[in-house]
Structure 1
Amino acid sequence: MEINTQFVQAETKNTADALVSEKLEQLGRHYDWIIRADVKFKEEKVTYGKGKICEVMLSCPGPRIFASSNEDSFEAAVAETVRDLEVQLKKRKSEMQEH
């Protein structure tokens, strides 16, 4: 699986980049039909609360799978986004097995 990471209006954080790569590689081992992951980290400057956003779009057979979360840190946003992706991937896998 190919992983493309971008930091949009945010300072590059190697720990967040390494964490998302590790988590997505784990998903890729479990769901070997994932082709590519596009990851965007964004930071909202004017915010009342959280402001660290992680967005992931997975390219795989069928429609793309997208998840994002807004948390206090990029690491927490990665964890929440990956949990959301897992739910969608499980659903997609069950739909693929029916046909």
Structure 2
Amino acid sequence: MTINIQYLHMPISGSLSKIIAKKLEKLEKKFNWILRAEVFLKLENTSLEENQICEIQLSLPGPRLFATAKSSNFEKAVVATIKELEHQLNKRKQKLTSH
């Protein structure tokens, strides 16, 4: 799986990139048909506490999967986004095994 991480309106963080790669690799071990992951980390310019956004798009056979989460820190947003993607992947797996 190829992982592409883009930081928008914020500096690049090597430690955050490692955390994202580790979590996505764990997801790939469970669902080995994932081809590519596009990760977008955005810092909104608002006064709200929850101004850190993580968006992940997974490329795999069939339609792409997309999830997004907003939180007060990027690690929480990444965890929530990957959890949503795992839910979507489980649904896709159930559809494939039922046919």
Interval containing the TM-score (normalised by the shorter chain)? over 0.9
Cα-Cα RMSD: 0.8
- Match of 1:53, SS state, is strand
- Match of 1:11, SS state, is coil
Q: Which residue pairs with 1:74 in the alignment?
A: 74
Q: Is the 8 A contact 1:16 1:78 kept in 2?
A: no
Q: Which residue pairs with 1:41 in the alignment?
A: 41
- Which consecutive aligned stretches of 4+ in structure 1 deviate over 6 angstroms post-superposition? none
Report % sequence identity.
39
- The normalised TM-score by structure 2 is 0.95
Inter-partner Cα distance in structure 1 for 2:52 and 2:13: 12
2:24 is the alignment partner of 1:14: no
Q: Which residue pairs with 1:58 in the alignment?
A: 58
Q: Which residue pairs with 1:31 in the alignment?
A: 31
Name the amino acid aligned to 1:13: S
Offset, 1:47: 3.5
What are the Cα deviations for residues 67-90 of structure 1, in whole angstroms up to 9, with x where unaligned?
010001111111110110110000
Inter-partner Cα distance in structure 1 for 2:89 and 2:39: 16
- The normalised TM-score by structure 1 is 0.95
- Match of 2:61, SS state, is coil
Number of residue pairs aligned between Structure 1 and Structure 2: 99
Inter-partner Cα distance in structure 2 for 1:34 and 1:62: 11
Structure 1: stretches of 5+ with no match in the other structure:
none
Name the amino acid aligned to 1:74: F
